[in-house]
């Protein structure tokens, strides 16, 4: 019989003592080694005297484990190490939650009206909610706390109105106040009046003779920029071929361009260099 087979029944026996579970049986066996050894020694001495030969397994079976005065129980202690004030109970400062603006108080866009954890209040007209449930104003006006049963039967809302006397919620299907305090309304167009224009005017001179003056139509000449069309880049400009014929329209004679004329290109470059050197000399002087 191996050592493991010998210890198996005693581990099961020692696993429960008076209904109290022992979490670590090996720890209990290490504590019982000394009394077990003394009991086995006594049994061996009795065998030497002349008693019957008893096997070691039978000797263990004769042992009776009695209830000790103190029951062994497992107590779990805190795993937090004592490292000063790092792992102690923390009691931080308050987050200063609650209302920051009262009813009918004037606010501007971005002003915080109510700080909260969770949605105790919901954003209404001209208000919005941040990611930490903070309600702030999006328009300038006066704060209003109200309920809207048509929108939700139990929710509470915070809104901003443009006039102090305005009441929220607005009636259903009513005109909604727009941004900048403007309302949607139909514009009244004035009735057009017919104006009679006289074509002939008679001016009396000092000599008594009448002078007839006829009205001539005021025809404006078409200007150059009136016929411009929008081009790429949202710019109004003439086409390239129209710009190239500007000298022809102004009766200015221009030499025809000859590609590959290196002599003409050298003369133009040399003239530019002389002109640049002349400007630099004037600056230094």
Give tens-digit pLDDT for 204-215: 555 555 555 555
Interatomic CA distance for residues 218 and 281, integer angstroms:
54
Please give the model's pTM, rounded to 2 decimal places. 0.37
* Interval 18-67: pLDDT, tens: 444 444 556 666 677 777 777 777 776 665 555 455 565 666 666 555 55
* Interval 224-276: pLDDT, tens: 556 677 776 667 777 888 888 888 888 888 777 788 889 989 999 999 999 99
pLDDT at position 19 = 47
3-state helix, strand, coil split of the chain in percent (to 5) is 30, 15, 55
Q: What is the CA radius of gyration of the chain?
A: 54
Interatomic CA distance for residues 239 and 256, integer angstroms:
20
What distance, in Å, lies between the first and last C-alpha atoms of the chain?
121
Interatomic CA distance for residues 123 and 202, integer angstroms:
74
Weakest mean pLDDT among 12-16, 106-110, 275-279: 12-16
Interatomic CA distance for residues 279 and 221, integer angstroms:
41
For 8-41, the three-class secondary structure string (H helix, E strand, C coil) is HHHHHHHCEECCEECCCHHHHHHHHHHHHHHHHH
Is pLDDT of 4 > 90? no
Sign, Cα dihedral of 163, 168, 170, 171: negative
Bridge partners, 143 (sequence order): 160
β 98-99/106-107 pair status: unpaired
Sign, Cα dihedral of 12, 16, 17, 18: negative
């Amino acid at each position: 019989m191996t050592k493991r087979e010998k210890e198996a029944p005693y581990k099961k026996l020692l696993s429960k003592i008076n209904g109290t579970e022992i979490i670590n049986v090996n720890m209990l066996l290490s504590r019982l080694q000394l009394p077990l050894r003394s009991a086995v020694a006594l049994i061996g001495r009795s065998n030497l005297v002349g008693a019957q030969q008893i096997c070691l397994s039978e000797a263990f079976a004769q042992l009776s484990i009695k209830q000790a005065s103190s029951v062994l129980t497992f107590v779990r202690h805190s795993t937090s190490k004592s490292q000063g004030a790092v792992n102690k109970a923390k009691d931080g400062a308050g987050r200063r939650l609650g209302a920051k603006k009262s009813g009918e108080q004037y606010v501007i866009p971005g002003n915080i009206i109510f700080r909260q954890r969770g949605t105790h209040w919901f954003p209404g007209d001209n208000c919005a909610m941040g990611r930490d449930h903070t309600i702030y104003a999006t328009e300038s006006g006066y704060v209003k706390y109200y309920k809207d049963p048509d929108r939700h039967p139990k929710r509470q809302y915070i809104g901003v109105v443009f006039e102090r006397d305005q009441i929220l919620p607005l009636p259903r299907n009513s005109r909604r106040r727009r941004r900048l305090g403007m309302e949607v309304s139909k514009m009244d167009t004035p009735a057009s009046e017919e104006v009679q224009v006289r074509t002939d005017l008679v001016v009396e001179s000092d000599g008594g003779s009448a002078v007839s003056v006829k009205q001539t139509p005021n025809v404006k000449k078409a200007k150059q920029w009136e016929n411009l069309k929008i081009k790429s880049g949202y710019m109004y400009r003439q086409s390239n071929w129209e710009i190239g014929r500007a000298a022809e329209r102004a009766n200015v004679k221009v030499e025809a361009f000859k590609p590959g004329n290196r002599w003409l290109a050298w003369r133009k470059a040399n003239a530019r260099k002389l002109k640049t050197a002349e400007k630099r000399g004037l600056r230094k002087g």
